[in-house]
Amino acid sequence: MGKEEPLQALVDYLAVDMQACNHVIMDRMQSSVPLVSQLAAHLIVAGGKRLRPLLTLASARLCGYEKDSADHITRHVRLAACIEFLHTATLLHDDVVDESMLRRGTESANAVFGNSASVLVGDFLFSRAFQIMTEDGSLEVMRIISKASATIAEGEILQMTVQNDLSTSISRYFEVIHGKTAALFAASCRVGAIVANQSRQHELALESFGTNLGMAFQLVDDALDYSAKQEELGKTIGDDFREGKITYPILIAYEKSTPVEKEFWQRVIQDGKQEKGDLKQALILIRKYNVIEETLKEAMVFANKASSALDVFPESELHTILKNIANYTVHRHF
């Protein structure tokens, strides 16, 4: 099986739902202020995998959700769009925070429209996400998503707090990625179960699937930034390195390094004093200590937990696809 296939299988399985979701997204990003729609379109229309809304749609379907009202937009579709708005808002703000000039292979919104517009359109999309939730009307959904939203902000702030700090513990790193990534994955899945009126057990199983999938996803993302394979494929690597971001690969490499090598990490990460050739040296140390493999091994632990969490559901085509997705998350691009 090709490496992209599990995700493509999910996209194919949910094609009708996703099309409906895209309609809601296009419709609800409209504003009487043209710049709002233009900037939102820059990011939303450009695409991305739409992984989070796919998880909401998939979770609802896995729980046997069928349209339950005369409303022409079904609940899972509406909430999937809400999740995508929330995610897009965080991306817009992240790019301002990281001063990123690229996003999804094209110029980032802040590079094109400026930081101010990115901050404010993020706020608009955030508000719109809450308006959509209000239309859905479930207090339980609102409680879960607003909590996830606060957790995302806390995760991002924690990440900023530990930047350049090589004494950061692995458990602190896990706290960061739980906040910045896994919390929204978890919420995306859980609300799918809620609209389908599933049992608490199934709701928590999907939440666990989302959490663990998100942890695996972020670990792999952090590994990819130091992957020679990525570089061979012509992709940019070393962004995290240049920012002095504290990620799993850095923590593992630092831990295993000799005192002299530790001095190198202290200079480039802790003190942020980087020179030409430093990334190359970092990659040499990362290869020397099998750091990518270690990171992927850790990611696989989470991916396996994600997969096991789905065992409470009966076998089905979608069930298989989702289990494959967990595995694929770790093996993508390798």
Using rule CB under 8 A, residue 109 touches a second copy: no
150 touching a second copy, by CB under 8 A:
yes
Q: How far apart (Å, rounded) are the C-alpha atoms in residues 286 and 57?
A: 38
Q: Which two structure tokens, joined as six digits, stand for 13?
A: 């399985």
Interface map 42-81 toward a second copy (x if CB under 8 A): ----------------------------------------
Under the binding rule (CB under 8 A), the answer on residue 139 touching a second copy is yes
Per CB under 8 A, the list member of 115, 266, 270, 327 interacting with a second copy is 115
* Long-range pairs, 8-15, Cβ under 8 A, ≥24: 9/321, 9/324, 10/54, 10/58, 10/321, 10/322, 10/325, 11/54, 13/58, 13/61, 13/317, 13/318, 13/321, 14/54, 14/57, 14/58, 14/61
Which CB, 17 or 156, lies closer to a second copy? 156
Q: How far is the CB of 158 from a second copy (least distance, A)?
A: 5
User: What are the C-alpha distances in Å from 251 to residues 29, 149, 267, 295?
Assistant: 40, 27, 15, 10
Task: Please tell me whether residue 93 binds a second copy under the rule CB under 8 A.
Answer: yes
For 293, the token pair is: 């493999």
- Whole-angstrom CA distances from 273 to 97, 156, 276 are 20, 23, 10
Q: Rule CB under 8 A: choose which of 35, 46, 101, 170 binds a second copy.
A: 35
Q: Is 106 in the site for a second copy (CB under 8 A)?
A: no
73 or 224: whose CB is closer to a second copy?
A: 73
Q: Using the rule CB under 8 A, which residue among 11, 48, 107, 130 binds a second copy? A: 130
Please say whether the beta carbons of 103 and 95 come within 8 A. Answer: yes
Q: Which residues of the shown chain bind a second copy in the complex (CB under 8 A)? A: 31-36, 89-90, 93, 96-97, 115-117, 119-124, 126-128, 130-131, 133-134, 137, 139, 142-143, 146-147, 149-150, 152-154, 156-158, 160-161
